[in-house]
């Protein structure tokens, strides 16, 4: 999980994650370009819209693979707990914001922002969790 | 897990979740009623709007408390893996849906659905993970 991972599972994780990110950028640029140029409609529009989400799904799978492959129990435990804190915080924020949207008409939170929001919370919780075990 | 209480931690968890569910229903009614009858403005409207989200956050906290209290490692692992499965499922769906809304003008998904949808995916993964250990 560090910048220069020492174990093979973490190395594979980083490699797969960067590959998925590269696909995400490529697919997002393709979708934006196609929609701005061709005014796609119908089923093709849905297929093209889903394109940038595929590498995101890939990233989720990559994290699952890492958890299955990681031999270092400490690293695995820290990541699992960070992910749980991340989803707890994300669900809290989306629920609060959802009720605010329904009752008070606050600005709409785009659904694709849930994924970066989740990782933001995972990132925040990783530090304190690592410090707790030191 | 919901029908049979095998240990005290599980028993407490189920009772706490039912209490939170009851509060959620109650607070939703109260919020809807207040907005319909009193038309609150300003800070008060935000406070009333957030009211139904509080038991949901409570349910998330109690899930964390259950994970901390559960002595049976198998049951804890089962729930952790289900929650991670639910996390992956919900992130994949909201991201894909978010891009479909943005690019293909698919119908908006209310943010309050993220939480129940997460538990749907967690429930599905619970069944899958449990069957894997049989």
Distances (CA, A) of A19 to A22, A29, A43, A118, A119: 5, 16, 27, 20, 18
B107-130 in b/e form (b: 16+ CB < 10 A) is eebebbbbbebbbebbeebbeebe
pLDDT of res. B113: 94
Q: What are phi and psi of B27, to 5 degrees?
A: -65, -35
For residue B97, give the chain A residue with the closest CA.
A111
- For residue B85, the distance in angstroms to the closest alpha carbon of chain A comes to 9
Both A54 and A37 in one domain: the answer is yes
Both A2 and A66 in one domain: the answer is yes
Both A34 and A94 in one domain: the answer is no
- Ranges of each domain in chain B: 1-71, 72-134
Per-residue pLDDT tens over the stretch B63-89: 999 999 998 999 999 999 999 999 999
Categorize the per-residue pLDDT at B5 as very low, low, confident or very high, splitting at 50, 70 and 90. Answer: low
pLDDT of res. B128: 94
> How far apart, in whole angstroms, are the C-alpha atoms of residue B111 and residue B35?
19
Q: Are B47 and B89 in contact, with CB atoms under 8 Å apart?
A: no
Considering only residues 112 to 131 of chain A, which have any Cβ-Cβ distance to chain B shorter than 8 Å? 112-115, 118
Categorize the per-residue pLDDT at A79 as very low, low, confident or very high, splitting at 50, 70 and 90. Answer: very high
For residue B106, give the chain A residue with the closest CA.
A46
pLDDT of B19 > 80? The answer is yes
Please state whether B107 falls in left (phi above 0), alpha (psi between -120 and 50) or beta.
Answer: beta
Helices within B2-133 (DSSP H only) = 8-37, 42-50, 53-69, 73-104, 114-132
Name chain B contacts of A108, Cβ cutoff 8 Å: 108
Both A102 and A124 in one domain: the answer is yes
Three-point CA angle A98, A102, A107, nearest 5°: 70
pLDDT of B3 > 60? The answer is no
Of the candidates A88, A99, A111, the beta carbon closest to that of B98 is on: A111
**Which of A70, A85, A109 is at the close of a domain?**
A70
Domain that holds residue A27: 1-70
pLDDT of res. A16: 95
**Which of A46, A70, A94 is at the close of a domain?**
A70
Name chain B contacts of A51, Cβ cutoff 8 Å: 99
Neighbouring CB atoms inside 10 A of B71's CB total: 9
What is the mean pLDDT of the segment spanning A107-131? 93
Neighbouring CB atoms inside 10 A of A38's CB total: 11
Burial (CB count <10 Å: 0-12, 13-18, 19+), residue A121: buried
Both A43 and A56 in one domain: the answer is yes
- For residue B94, the distance in angstroms to the closest alpha carbon of chain A comes to 6
Closest CA to A31 of B92, B90, B107, B96: B96
Both A92 and A112 in one domain: the answer is yes
Both A97 and A128 in one domain: the answer is yes
Closest CA to A109 of B120, B112, B24: B112
pLDDT of res. A105: 81
Q: In total, how many domains does chain A have?
A: 2
Categorize the per-residue pLDDT at B41 as very low, low, confident or very high, splitting at 50, 70 and 90. Answer: confident
pLDDT of A1 > 70? The answer is no
**Which of A14, A45, A70 is at the close of a domain?**
A70
- What mean pLDDT value characterizes chain B? 91
């Amino acid at each position: 999980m560090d910048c220069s991972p020492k174990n093979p599972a973490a190395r594979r994780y980083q490699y797969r994650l960067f590959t998925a990110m590269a696909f995400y950028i490529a697919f997002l640029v393709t979708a934006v370009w196609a929609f701005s140029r061709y005014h796609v409609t119908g089923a093709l529009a849905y297929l093209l819209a889903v394109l940038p989400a595929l590498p995101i799904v890939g990233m989720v799978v990559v994290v699952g693979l890492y958890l299955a492959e990681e031999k270092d129990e400490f690293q695995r435990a820290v990541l699992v707990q960070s992910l749980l804190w991340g989803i707890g915080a994300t669900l809290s924020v989306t629920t609060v914001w959802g009720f605010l949207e329904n009752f008070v008409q606050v600005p709409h939170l785009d659904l694709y922002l849930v994924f970066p929001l989740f990782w933001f919370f995972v990132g925040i919780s990783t530090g304190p969790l690592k410090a707790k075990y030191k | 897990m919901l029908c049979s209480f095998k240990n005290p931690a599980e028993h407490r968890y189920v009772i706490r979740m039912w209490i939170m569910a009851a509060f959620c229903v109650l607070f939703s009614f109260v919020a809807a009623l207040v907005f319909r009858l009193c038309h609150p403005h300003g800070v008060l409207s935000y406070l009333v709007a957030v009211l139904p989200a509080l038991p949901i956050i409570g349910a998330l906290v109690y899930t964390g408390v259950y994970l901390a209290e559960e002595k049976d490692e198998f049951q804890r692992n089962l729930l952790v893996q289900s929650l991670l499965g639910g996390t992956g499922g919900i992130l994949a769906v909201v991201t894909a849906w978010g891009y479909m809304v943005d690019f293909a003008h698919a119908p908006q998904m209310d943010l309050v659905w993220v939480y129940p949808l997460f538990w749907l995916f967690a429930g599905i993964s619970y069944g899958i993970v449990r069957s894997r250990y049989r």
